[in-house]
Structure 1
Amino acid sequence: MDPKHDAPTEFIPRVPDPPVRRRGTRWLAVALVVAVLTVGSGIVATRHWADARPVAGDPEVVATTPIVRRDLSTTRTLPGSIGYGPARPLAGHLAATVTWLPRAGTTVKRGGQLFRADDRPVVLFYGSIPMYRDIAGPNLVGRDVRVVADNLRALGYPVGRQPSPGERVTPRSPARNSTDGDDRATGAAGAAAAPHRVRSGEGVLTPALVVAIKRWQTDLGVPATGTIPVGHVEVASGAVRVDAVTGQPGDPAETPLMSVTSVRKVITVGAELTDAASIKRGDRVEVGLPDDRKVPARVVSVGRDLVVSDSGIASGPPLLTVTVAVDKPQAIADLDSGEVQVHVTGRTAVDVLVAPVEALVALREGGYAVQAPGGLVAVRTGMFADGWVEITGDGLTEGTEVVVPA
């Protein structure tokens, strides 16, 4: 064996570079490339977002409105209708037979004939108390006598001087007519009663008034007795319009003969109790007419009796009738009927600072604020009406600009 070749040779394996080192180097290179790409992408993305954003320093446009000082009021709108108001039945008050009745639509004024009974006219007088007894007997005192005196004077008949409140008069019972045995007064003095002190609103059947009655009766075409039997005069607050005739000739005069209304056109409103409770006679209202005009008006009466709603809904609430008269009757003279809107003013705040409701900002801790030039200002709110709100707050005055949605 050749020692040179046969001698065992020590094998020293070549140790390669640690794989971790080579792998780390390779991943490091990859990481550098990714980093470069990432940074590059980041630069591009950054530029992209920068282009989409508003340019710093551009002012933001907002809308503002000044705080103003004015009156606020809550208004309710109720439906109404044009007409002559509610009709009321009219019946006679004497035992007689009806011999004539007027036509529907007829207007009867002071001194006019409402109907005829036993072929004698039953006349209309104006007043606030019905004729509940015969007007007969010297110095008869009462408010019904005052109705007779006032109406005859208005019709042009001299009634002489009427005793003033506080004066004393001695009424006498009417003397019986001894020739025919009836109870009609002859004008002669009967038995004297206790002296009576005339009160405000009362009239006295003086000799001059008796003469006026006789003259009126002569012109009327009836016996001039100087007395007025009960039932020969009917009393209303003013002229009446015959709405419908329910009787006919031959009927007893003491039955309902017709229904009458006022001659003045009015607005009739059916108001629920919650609305009617705050409406009073004399209250000012505004009426919206069918032609879009708005006219001033006032409440002339508020009914006391509940009526069933005529809306056709069986479960509808009962209503109170409120009657409204426009200030200028000619405004509705050409409208025989029609639906209107009645605007009733409720609570009112006078001369207060107000802002549009949309100017209010709700605070997280509760309450409201407005955005003024110096920042948010907490406010106390009062009445809300018609899109406005009453506000008070530190530094807020008339003319202060507040932000509203654009």
Structure 2
Amino acid sequence: MAERPASRESRGRNRVVPAVVLATVVAVGAVGAVAVARHSHDASDPRATAAPSVHTAKVVRRDLSNSQTVAGQLGFGPVRDLKGTGTGTLTKLPSNGATTVRGKALYRVDDRPVPVFYGGTPFFRDLRKVGLVGNDVTVLRNNLVALGYDVGFEGTAQRSAGQPQGTTFTASLAAALKRWQQDVGLKPTGELKAGDAVVLSGPVRVNSVKAQTGDPVAEDILSYVSPKKVITVPVNAQQVSAIKPGDTVTIVLPGGEFPGTVSGIARTAQNDSAQPDAQPGSGDDSSSKTNVTVLPKRASDVASLDEADVQVEFVSEIHKNVLTVPVGALVALSGGGFVVQRPGGELVRVQTGMFATGLVEVSGKGVAEGLTVVVAS
């Protein structure tokens, strides 16, 4: 007699199984029922139905993980524009692909070098009067210190709201500025005018030069990107919650697989224009993507490539050193739960854990590594 389907109540007492797995289990349950029923039918009975073919597998101990693989793009990250400041004419420009160096000229104006400093505040005013206070002074001081110049007493103080924040422009700082100007070929005035140096957040790579020599400096000069190669991966907004900065990922390139790390996740999602059928308010946000940034752990793994289409595998969950069988070894019980069947017909009850890549985690009395079980084919 065929077993009755499990009731809603009995199903509710068991682990929830994905729909695709349920379909497999129902089919496997039918195989198990037929395999057991074979012993109660006469082989000569013309009404008897031949049992589906089966094969066996062993219970194996392994690491089991759930993952998603998403297409991404290897490159240098977002492109940003640089506009010049001050007055004068551009007389020399960098080449595409050039990388900035602190204290070295990025371009020249009226044949004088315009060096690069790193910091968070641009030089928005002339720094010439001792006693000026501001974050732009802090940028100047920090860069001269990084370049090895003695700037004297720091001159930094906490000020109340409404008062200028940052470092004080001291006589010692002006003297250090003068020494640096002389070293790099600038007129050693001990004063810094807006436009005498470019302030960037950190080292950058010139992506493309937009201006030409002879153009005024106060125009768009160039675009730049990060000097480090990164992988930008647009992930479905529904799935990005399983990804965290610092997660280890696998980068799949034509030359092999390499480790990487999630370095950042965009705070906003963007609609994928490649999904024109998605309707606002429809409840289907499959076209909504969030950019995840991945860094290769070893720069040498991508040294030969500037741009490439890649695949990135994100692992959302992992169970280590667990017993597993193929999903096709599960037999559903009418009263709820699952068993596996041994070649001799013995049924062994199992508790299921993670499902992944056609395998399922199992445990229970009598379940051990190396145990042979029947798998439907």
Q: TM-score, normalised by structure 1?
A: 0.66
Q: 2:227 aligns with which of 263, 276, 290?
A: 263
3-state secondary structure, aligned to 2:328: helix
- Answer yes or no: is 1:359 the counterpart of 2:334: no
Structure-2 residue corresponding to 1:209: 173
Q: Please list every run of 5 or more consecutive structure 1 residues that lacks an aligned counterpart in the other structure.
A: 1-47, 51-59, 171-193
Structure-2 change in CA distance of 1:304 and 1:230 (3 Å): farther
1:38-83 CA distance string (max 9 Å, x none): xxxxxxxxxx969xxxxxxxxx996230242x43322111112222
Offset of residue 295 of structure 1: 0.9
Offset of residue 363 of structure 1: 2.4
What's the % identity of the aligned pairs? 41
3-state secondary structure, aligned to 2:355: strand
Offset of residue 364 of structure 1: 3.1
Distance, in Å, in 1 between the alignment partners of 2:270 and 2:220 is: 21
1:275-294 matches, cutoff 5 A:
275-291=239-255, 293-294=256-257
1:149-298 matches, cutoff 5 A:
149-162=141-154, 168=157, 203-291=167-255, 293-298=256-261
Q: 1:345 aligns with which of 315, 323, 333?
A: 315
Q: Which amino acid aligns with 2:71?
A: P
Offset of residue 217 of structure 1: 1.3
Distance, in Å, in 2 between the alignment partners of 1:351 and 1:287 is: 24
Between 275-284 and 103-112, report the one with greater CA deviation.
275-284
- Answer yes or no: is 1:396 the counterpart of 2:367: yes
1:76-119 CA distance string (max 9 Å, x none): 11112222222111112335544433232222222232233454
Structure-1 residue corresponding to 2:348: 377
State the aligned residue count: 318
Distance, in Å, in 1 between the alignment partners of 2:74 and 2:163 is: 51
Q: Which amino acid aligns with 1:159?
A: V
Q: Which amino acid aligns with 2:351?
A: R
Q: CA RMSD in A?
A: 3.6
Offset of residue 224 of structure 1: 2.2
Q: Please list every run of 5 or more consecutive structure 2 residues that lacks an aligned counterpart in the other structure.
A: 1-42, 46-52, 279-286
Q: Which amino acid aligns with 1:298?
A: T
Distance, in Å, in 1 between the alignment partners of 2:55 and 2:158 is: 84
Distance, in Å, in 2 between the alignment partners of 1:384 and 1:66 is: 15
Structure-2 residue corresponding to 1:183: none
Distance, in Å, in 2 between the alignment partners of 1:209 and 1:241 is: 30
Q: 1:65 aligns with which of 58, 65, 70?
A: 58
Structure-2 change in CA distance of 1:87 and 1:125 (3 Å): same
Between 273-282 and 83-92, report the one with greater CA deviation.
273-282
3-state secondary structure, aligned to 1:330: helix
Distance, in Å, in 2 between the alignment partners of 1:134 and 1:272 is: 48
Distance, in Å, in 2 between the alignment partners of 1:347 and 1:108 is: 41
Structure-2 residue corresponding to 1:368: 338
Structure-2 change in CA distance of 1:390 and 1:248 (3 Å): same
Q: Which amino acid aligns with 1:301?
A: G
Offset of residue 341 of structure 1: 0.8
Offset of residue 122 of structure 1: 2.8
Structure-2 residue corresponding to 1:102: 94
Q: 1:84 aligns with which of 61, 71, 76?
A: 76
Distance, in Å, in 2 between the alignment partners of 1:259 and 1:300 is: 23
1:338-369 CA distance string (max 9 Å, x none): 22111111123344433222221122344322
Q: Which amino acid aligns with 1:377?
A: V
Distance, in Å, in 1 between the alignment partners of 2:190 and 2:58 is: 77
Distance, in Å, in 2 between the alignment partners of 1:298 and 1:61 is: 43
Larger RCO: Structure 1 or Structure 2 (Cα < 8 Å, ≥ 6 residues apart)?
2
Distance, in Å, in 2 between the alignment partners of 1:255 and 1:239 is: 21
Distance, in Å, in 1 between the alignment partners of 2:322 and 2:108 is: 63
Decide whether the 8 Å contact of 1:109 with 1:238 is kept in 2.
no
Q: Which amino acid aligns with 1:145?
A: V
